A and B are shown apart, each in its own frame.
Chain A
């Protein structure tokens, strides 16, 4: 597994308001390691996640995931890539309000067209691994902020992705929960041997990362 970005440029706006968000960005990421993307708001952290996660095509440059330049893929191919090889954990709104914690994980298999019943036991195990063995049948509104993020992490990793993208995972949780989530992200990254990129302002998450990229300082 490898992920590399070469000369990636993303601009926003039109005409006079055209603003570069990422300019000739280059980086290579290693499996089993957590990379923290830091920088002030607007520095391009989330944009970088979007480009790496096949949610946004850059204006120029290449994003190589396991030998495939994903910037050249069609919309349908990028959708397929996202569900098969990339796990997402967003800042908020990660969970589907109608589903229990277990069903959130099964939704990933439903989206992948794999059916859900035969994955039930594995979903229970995955939730136990993130410390939610006693919250299997709880819906999002019955979970705390930290618990919701744990479910989101478990779902992001449920189909064993090669790339885990995490956007401000601790922004909406208290300090003790934030520490636990930061530790869990590192732990699960090692266990799944995936490339993990985390956009964050949180010093705890930054401290637990293997590599830190400061986008404000990027050329």
Chain B
């Protein structure tokens, strides 16, 4: 500590500059991480909140399954009869509407059978009711101004739905969710604009079958028998529009930042080590062990990297607060700590690339013998 701190004090300009670079990299990683989580939540939080282990889709739907897949009522019934599986139909479609107070809203309509496990928990108001169809809206829509008691008219169809309750801040494909009975969902999904189709004239389909499978349930056999394609929830998330592309993009940015960070820190310490090579030779000459030279160099790196990373984390948090709800940004403590920990680790790894040079200065160079 003695030498590490005094060298930092004497070269505070250089260390401050390096600390700032680490801070900016950490902030950038933190901000990207916040956007990754935020965008992820914005895309699939409704799916993550679904208390299901799997979703069964029609076999023909290979991608964007919630849009492409249609599963008929018979298939749902047969899934319900499979041992070790609890099944409930689920309809997903994105639509628009206008409240009776003139507020225009986009909503991801999640059609569920009231009383089944995909039905959402209600924070305010009342839950879904098959007899008196209404909407349970995402907290995000409530934040936008939709209130319990409002009546939402679905665009093009003229279907009027009262808002009966508010659930958590859930969304799908960057659109806040609104839960409604499956029959009402069918009217939106299959209804012809400008006409009113009787409920018994609409297809009795859903987008998929939400499943709660117990351990040992043979889902592959069920798929073969029922002509469905069952995906675990981790894969179901990829069925959300844009989710995979977003993840790949944001993760690529993060990977590049994780590659850049050690190179920056490593380059700084490589130059720093070259600059003080004569002093390292002096220390070796007066009896400093290689371990001591290494330990105080690593300590210097740790101080700069950790301080810069903490400051970067604070900057990322401040950016998140500044952005507020204007953009999908979410940086929970766990994510932030993991991100900053990774930045600090790769930063220190960068220092390790230069450590050999710390121990190689020849103490003999201090004497005229080698001059």
Partners in one complex: yes
Please, how many angstroms separate the alpha-carbon atoms of A98 and B280 in the complex? 13
User: What CA separation (Å) do A50 and B9 show in the bound complex?
Assistant: 33
Nearest neighbor of A48 in chain B, beta-carbon distance: B369
B2 touches A106 (CB 8 A): yes
Q: Does B96 contact A (CB under 8 A)?
A: no
| Bound CA span A113–B287, Å | 10
Q: Is B356 engaged at the interface, CB distance under 8 Å to the other chain?
A: no
CB pair B367–A83 under 8 Å, yes or no, is no
Contact B287 A49 (CB under 8 A): no
State in angstroms the CA–CA spacing of A110 and B279 once bound together: 15
Q: Is A55 at the interface (CB under 8 A from chain B)?
A: yes
Contact status of A98 and B288, CB under 8 A, knowing A49-B369, A168-B368: no
| Docked-complex contact B3 and A107, CB < 8 angstroms | yes
Tell me if A96 and B282 are in contact (CB < 8 A): yes
1/0 per residue, CB under 8 A from A, across B343-371: the answer is 00000000000000000000110111111
Q: How far is the CA of A167 from the CA of B365 in the complex (A)?
A: 12
Residues of A with C-beta under 8 A to B369: 46-47, 49-50, 56
Main secondary structure of the interface of B (DSSP, over half): helix
* A55-B367 in contact (CB<8A): yes
Of the listed residues A46, A76, A108, A139, the one surrounded by the most CB atoms of chain B closer than 10 A to its CB is A46
B284 is an interface residue with CB less than 8 A from chain A: yes
Known: A93-B278, A94-B282, A98-B10. A79 touches B287 (CB 8 A): yes
Contacts of A103 in B (CB 8 A): 2, 6
Contact: B11 with A88, CB < 8 Å?
no
Interface centre among A80, A82, A199 (most CB of B within 10 A): A82
Q: Are B367 and A49 in contact (CB under 8 A)?
A: yes
Give A contacts to B, CB under 8 Å.
Answer: 45-47, 49-50, 55-56, 76, 79-84, 86, 88, 90-91, 93-94, 96-99, 103, 106-108, 110-113, 116, 139, 155, 167-168, 199
- B interface residues, Cβ below 8 angstroms from A: 2-3, 6-7, 9-11, 278-279, 282-290, 292, 363-364, 366-371
27 intermolecular pairs with C-beta atoms under 8 Å apart: A46-B367, A49-B367, A49-B369, A50-B367, A50-B369, A55-B366, A55-B367, A79-B284, A79-B287, A79-B288, A81-B287, A88-B366, A90-B282, A90-B285, A93-B279, A93-B282, A94-B282, A96-B279, A96-B282, A98-B3, A106-B2, A107-B2, A108-B286, A110-B3, A111-B287, A113-B292, A167-B366
